[in-house]
Amino acid sequence: MSKPTLLLIDDEDRILRSLRMLFFVGYNVRTTTEPGEAIRILREEKVHVIMSDQRMPQMQGSELLRIARETSPATMRILLTGYSDLDASIASVNEGEVFRYLMKPWNAEDVKKVVAEAAAIAEASFAVQSHAEPATETAKPRVLIMDHDEATAKTVHETLGDRCEIVWASDAQHAMEELAKQDVSVVVSDLMLGETNVGYILKTIKQLNPQTQCIVVTSFNDTSRLIELINQAQITRFLPKPVSKGILARNLESMLERFHLVRSQPALQKRQSVEPISNAQERVQAGNFIGMLGKLRARIGV
Amino acid sequence: MNNLNPPGESIFSLVIPIEALSPDVPLEEVAEQFADPRNARLLSLPVVENGRPIGVISRYQFMNIYLKLYARELYGKRPLRGFINNTPLLVELGQPLAEAAQHVAANMQFPLTEDFIVTRHGRYLGIGFVMDLLKAMEVQMRANTAELEQAYSQLKSSQLALVQSEKMASLGQMVAGVAHEINTPLGYVQNNVAIGQELFAQMQGVLGTYETLIDQLLDGNTNEEQLAAQMQIAAAMRNDASMQEMRGEMNGLMADSLYGIEQISGLVHDLKNFSRMDAAANDLANPNDCIESALNIGRNVLKDKVEVVKDLAQLPEIMCAPSQLNQVFLNLFTNAAQAMETPGKLLIKSWHDSDNIYIGVSDNGKGIPPDIISRIFDPFFTTKPVGEGTGLGLAISHQIIQQHGGSIRVESRPGEGTSFHISLPLSGDAKSNASALAALA
Ligand SMILES: Nc1ncnc2c1ncn2[C@@H]1O[C@H](COP(=O)(O)OP(=O)(O)OP(=O)(O)O)[C@@H](O)[C@H]1O
Ligand SMILES: [Mg+2]
């Protein structure tokens, strides 16, 4: 098997030289400081993984990754940035749909692991036709709302009410009971459900069922939490509140579509695989959550 | 207001406890009262019935009646009641001075012919002189003004504190920006060291293989087969292309790392320079250095957007607070960058004459509309969206330049750009330095 191709973009040459050496063994490494050149390479060559800086004079990394998503959908997208600003991280989720959001300075071993994982996933998805016919659905898709905001629930009902079963969870316990009954297709969640930080629930859901697509609608603007949710929950949308009805509706539609696609093409599921939970307390919460879920399911007989 | 006398007490101090007249006294007795030298200062006499003031008789009015022909005979025995003005000027003791004065001023007659009556809970207490009341009012107003001035200066100093804390906040932002800036060199330096470590481990392996080979060669007892095998291993290692290439690259990576470390120390140095928080302590410094320092710190903001053109003349050092001047320049550069919708140009000039240093900061940003240009130095004036601007940048800058005895002014053409002009006076020493510089040139 030939070596996977890794495309690196950064406006600092020294970063490129350094990374090139890190991946020298095992990869066909392409580097450029020009986003335009990167787009050309994506168009003409089979690229497994693209890893880009965020802040560059000609183009933001999230924008480059958005173009990469259209030009070469199978390529895995990673952002490697020294700036943890909120706008960049939101754009990297919503537009770049990044696999990982990595920070400079990085740990060489960790980055190697992430890239290796991404390369393997890309290899598998090259084999998949991305616009395959959705498999005939058996069960109605389920949408779980974890947000006390009525506006959110209303939009979800109006947009997907005719096609989906919609569950509006009032608290973490309720959400768990619903998840115990059956997996969900799309989760629409705030980051806080009353007093509960639901980060661990989102992370657990994605671990248990990679097909589930997570939309976060929230007024909490915490960049480091968002980055964590990208890497550990692979949320696919982050919509700052107040979110317009149209935008939420549009994103609901596309996430439902995404769910059908991923479900029909299990090879695509891996594209949204997550990192282990890093926060110790959340790990405990997630552990309890999974344990409880198991018991509930056993009782219900799922 | 708390250091003023309570208003009731100030009226109290004006009260003259004159014995009031009953409305039933005959007019001739009133004449006696007016004639009494103890009452010489009184313009009028109060008239009270059952403890309550019902009117007043003024000297002026009394004369008008009493000095008529035969008046004394005609009216002398008549009771006072028929002759009084029954709408006297009344002031209640508890009334605030200002309110009382206002009431009296509004209702008094010209020429002034009556005094006012002071009551307590509606009952007669005494009289007061209108002039005294107005004087007291004036005194209070002066006190109020002083108080206002004091409040104003307190406000100003608390605003200064606020400005200082804003300065800290924007410094915090800058520190965060620079910290991010450090992440890039830190990224490759750390990575290069990790690669170097790995390569070093490999090299140790190679070295070990060679050592074994040499040992075997020197040792007469090694047989041919063993030797051949070891040679093969060594040769394979030597021919490992990727290892060779990595070794070749390693020199470059080491050079990069040194460069990166230099960059990081430069940034740390800038940061230290910039934030010298012994801000009050003045120092001899060259304003050009402050400009450079601000450019370094602001690199983060300017980098992608602004082409910086410098035209800096040699300047003498001046006594100043360098970290504050840094702050001024950073504010100006940040504003310029924020005024640019597309990448633009920032021109920074400095020069001096025998009295002043001049610094010009010009951008080709969107400019400032004439209707707001007079307000841009006002604290909290901003046209930027919430969260982006506090409107303190120029206010702080103005304050700092003023404290240096200099001036800052603005000139702008909407659509074309904006220039800020700063002048800073040369101190005595600096002046002689300046002439020395001039002699050199
Ligand atoms: N170079 C410039 N070009 C155009 N407008 C400017 C420029 N400099 C200042 N202004 C105008 O003057 C206003 C006040 O500037 P100032 O630096 O005091 O506050 P700010 O930049 O809005 O906020 P802050 O500096 O506190 O972040 C700005 O909002 C802007 O409208
Ligand atoms: Mg400003």
In ligand 1, which atom is closest to the CA atom of B382? 29
Contact A12 B246 (CB under 8 A): no
Listed residue (B345, B320, B351) closest to B421, CA to CA:
B351
The DSSP element (H or E) to which B246 belongs, if any, is helix B241-274
Pocket of ligand 1 contains residue B363 by CB under 6 Å:
yes
Pocket of ligand 1 contains residue B392 by CB under 6 Å:
yes
Pocket of ligand 1 contains residue B419 by CB under 6 Å:
no
B352 pLDDT above the threshold of 90: yes
Best mutation site among B394, B396, B399, B413 for ligand 1 pocket (most ligand atoms within 8 Å of CB):
B394
Given the candidates 2.60.40.1180, 3.40.50.2000, 3.10.580.10, 3.40.50.720, the CATH classification of the domain at B2-128 is 3.10.580.10
Q: What is the mean pLDDT of residues A66-73?
A: 95
Contact A104 B186 (CB under 8 A): yes
pLDDT at residue B428 in the model: 66
Pocket of ligand 1 contains residue B323 by CB under 6 Å:
no
- Going by their DSSP bridges, the two strands B344-352 and B356-363 should be labelled as antiparallel
Cα–Cα distance measured from residue A164 to residue B373, given in angstroms and rounded to the nearest whole number: 57
pLDDT at residue A198 in the model: 92
Contact B191 A108 (CB under 8 A): yes
**Nearest ligand to residue B341 Cα:** 1
Q: What is the mean pLDDT of residues A15-32?
A: 95
Dihedral sign (CA A240, A245, A250, A254): positive
The DSSP code for B343 is S
| B contact residues 285-324, partner A, Cβ 8 Å cutoff | 303-304
pLDDT digits (tens, 9 = 90+) for B116-142: 999 999 999 999 988 888 888 777 777
* Nearest residue (CA) to ligand 1, atom 7: B335
Dihedral sign (CA B400, B406, B407, B408): negative
What percent of chain B has a predicted confidence (pLDDT) above 70?
84
B48 pLDDT above the threshold of 90: yes
pLDDT at residue B165 in the model: 58
Q: Is B278 on the interface with A (CB under 8 A)?
A: no
B31 pLDDT above the threshold of 50: yes
Contact B188 A83 (CB under 8 A): no
Kindly give the distance from the C-alpha atom of residue B173 to the centroid of ligand 1, in angstroms, as a whole number.
Answer: 17
Find all residues with CB under 8 Å of A287, minimum gap 6, and list them: none
Disruptive mutation site among B188, B242, B247, B299 for chain A (greatest number of A CBs within 10 Å) = B188
pLDDT digits (tens, 9 = 90+) for A164-176: 999 999 888 899 8
pLDDT at residue B210 in the model: 87
| Residue B437 tokens, joined | 């510089």
Q: What is the mean pLDDT of residues B246-262?
A: 88
Q: What is the mean pLDDT of residues B63-89?
A: 83
pLDDT at residue B438 in the model: 63
Kindly give the distance from the C-alpha atom of residue B356 to the centroid of ligand 1, in angstroms, as a whole number.
Answer: 26
The better pLDDT of the pair A28, A295 is held by A28
Residues of A in contact with B182 (CB under 8 A): 82
Confidence of residue B372 (pLDDT cuts 50, 70, 90): very high
Do the Cβ atoms of B20 and B109 come closer than 8 Å? no
Q: Is B181 on the interface with A (CB under 8 A)?
A: yes
Listed residue (B87, B97, B80) closest to B27, CA to CA:
B80
pLDDT digits (tens, 9 = 90+) for B267-282: 777 666 665 544 555 7
Contact B252 A17 (CB under 8 A): yes
Shortest Cα–Cα distance, A105 to chain B (Å): 4
- DSSP assignments along B92-145, one per residue: ETTS-HHHHHHHHHHH--SS---PEEEEETTEEEEEE-HHHHHHHHHHHHHHHH
pLDDT digits (tens, 9 = 90+) for A118-153: 999 999 888 775 555 555 656 789 999 999 999 999
Neighbour count for residue B248 (Cβ, 10 Å):
9
Mean of per-residue pLDDT scores for chain B: 83
Q: Is B266 on the interface with A (CB under 8 A)?
A: no
Do the Cβ atoms of B369 and B382 come closer than 8 Å? no
In the block, which residue shows the tokens 């050309």?
A40
What ranges do the domains of chain B cover?
2-128, 150-275, 283-440
- DSSP assignments along B154-189, one per residue: HHHHHHHHHHHHHHHHHHHHHHHHHHHHHHHHHHHH
* Nearest residue (CA) to ligand 1, atom 17: B393
pLDDT digits (tens, 9 = 90+) for B176-205: 667 777 888 999 999 999 998 888 888 888
Q: Which domains does chain A possess?
A: 5-129 (3.40.50.2300), 142-300 (3.40.50.2300)
B153 pLDDT above the threshold of 80: no
Q: Is B254 on the interface with A (CB under 8 A)?
A: no
- Chain B residue whose CA is closest to A112: B191
B299 pLDDT above the threshold of 60: yes
B172 pLDDT above the threshold of 80: no
Kindly give the distance from the C-alpha atom of residue B345 to the centroid of ligand 1, in angstroms, as a whole number.
Answer: 17
| Residue B258 tokens, joined | 């040194």
pTM: 0.64
* Nearest residue (CA) to ligand 1, atom 24: B389
When mean pLDDT is compared over B99-113, B114-128, B419-433, the highest value belongs to: B114-128
Contact A82 B256 (CB under 8 A): no
Given the candidates 3.40.50.620, 3.30.565.10, 3.30.413.10, 3.50.50.60, the CATH classification of the domain at B283-440 is 3.30.565.10
Pocket of ligand 1 contains residue B336 by CB under 6 Å:
yes
Dihedral sign (CA A115, A117, A121, A124): positive
B152 pLDDT above the threshold of 80: no
Shortest Cα–Cα distance, B382 to chain A (Å): 22
pLDDT at residue B159 in the model: 61
- What's phi and psi for A274, nearest 5 deg? -115, 160
SS3 content of chain A, % helix, strand, coil (to 5): 50, 15, 35
Q: What is the mean pLDDT of residues A58-70?
A: 94
Best mutation site among B167, B329, B384 for ligand 1 pocket (most ligand atoms within 8 Å of CB):
B384
Neighbour count for residue B240 (Cβ, 10 Å):
14
Listed residue (B288, B284, B366) closest to B321, CA to CA:
B284
Residues of B in contact with A108 (CB under 8 A): 190-191, 194-195
Confidence of residue A157 (pLDDT cuts 50, 70, 90): very high
Q: What is the mean pLDDT of residues A249-258?
A: 94
